[in-house]
Amino acid sequence: MTERYYIENELNEDMIELIKHHLPNNHLDTIRLYENFNHETVLYYITDERGIRRLDAMISYFFFDFSYDSIVVMQRDNNFNRDMWKILKDTIKTRSKQLRIMSDPTNQALRRAVERLKGYWVEDEIIFE
């Protein structure tokens, strides 16, 4: 079962653990991002067959004082659920500023989604004008 929660401008231990899991060699910059910029985040918790509850995924929208904003999306197995894809798609379509997302350019499903939503890649960054 998946539980969904909304938070604002918060960084909790579950989030730090997921960031370290997702970015084992490059987590400090992402943690600093959460500590220093306003964001709205959706957290997805799951309970496994042993009854252990853990953070499985999160989507964060960062509000910058730049010409663009950013999104951070993480899921333990890099297999986003439908709700996550819907939030991403809706956010991309309704944003008011350029949006930049750091990601893995080798992910073919993501490449197809970026093309459908009229974004483009610059190295490991997705840009939506």
Residue range 2-102 forms a domain whose CATH class is alpha beta
CA distance 127 to 118: 9
**Each residue's pLDDT tens digit, 57-111:** 999 999 999 999 999 999 998 888 899 989 999 999 999 999 999 887 788 888 8
Cα–Cα distances in Å, from 105 out to 9, 10, 20, 68, 108? 28, 29, 20, 20, 8
pLDDT at position 11 is 95
DSSP letter (8 states) at residue 83: H
pLDDT at position 113 is 87
CB neighbours of residue 123 within 10 Å: 6
Per-residue pLDDT band at 48 (split at 50, 70, 90):
confident
H runs (alpha helix) in the chain: 13-22, 27-36, 82-94, 108-116
The DSSP H or E segment spanning 98 is strand 98-102
**Each residue's pLDDT tens digit, 5-35:** 899 999 999 999 999 998 898 899 999 999 9
Whole-model pTM over 0.85: yes
pLDDT at position 78 is 82
